[in-house]
Amino acid sequence: MKVISLVLNVLWLVFCGIWMAIAYAIAALICFVLIITIPFGIASLRIAGYVLWPFGRTTVDRPGAGVPSLVGNVIWVIFAGWWLALGHLITSIPLFLSIIGIPFGWANLKLIPISLMPLGREIVSTDQEFAGW
């Protein structure tokens, strides 16, 4: 199973992972420049690493995240989350059009919720190739 994850991650990196990771890195840089949004920049870099190598990992709710994460997620959606989610949606379309890209299209759609609400989530390893919804 580790070999399958490696192959899927390398193909993912070539077809769409690098572009989406760059988008998250740009969002992080903008957040770092605005100083008060540095926590959002850190979350964006964390997700960029996940977007680069998603197979064999998933996200789970972080215990004790609470109301500050909710408020931060609302702010994130307004300023950066919606266009990152749109990027995932747009990059999934050509992947779905090719037969070999269908699993990558599904993976892109699976990343939309974390692109919209990154705070209060953590990235963990999983033994499943395609983590459950």
- 74-125 pLDDT, tens digit per residue, is 999 988 899 999 999 999 999 999 988 898 999 899 999 999 998 888 888 8
- Residue 48, pLDDT score: 93
Contacts 24+ apart (CB under 8 A), 24-33: 24/48, 24/51, 24/84, 27/80, 27/84, 30/80, 31/80
Number of helical H runs and strand E runs in the chain: 7, 2
Entry pTM: 0.84
Given a contact cutoff of 8 angstroms between Cβ atoms, the answer to whether 44 and 24 are in contact is: yes
Classified as helix, coil or strand, 59 is strand
pLDDT at 42: 92
What are the φ/ψ torsions at residue 60 (nearest 5 degrees)?
-135, 160
Q: In the structure, what pLDDT confidence band is assigned to residue 127 with cuts at 50, 70 and 90?
A: low
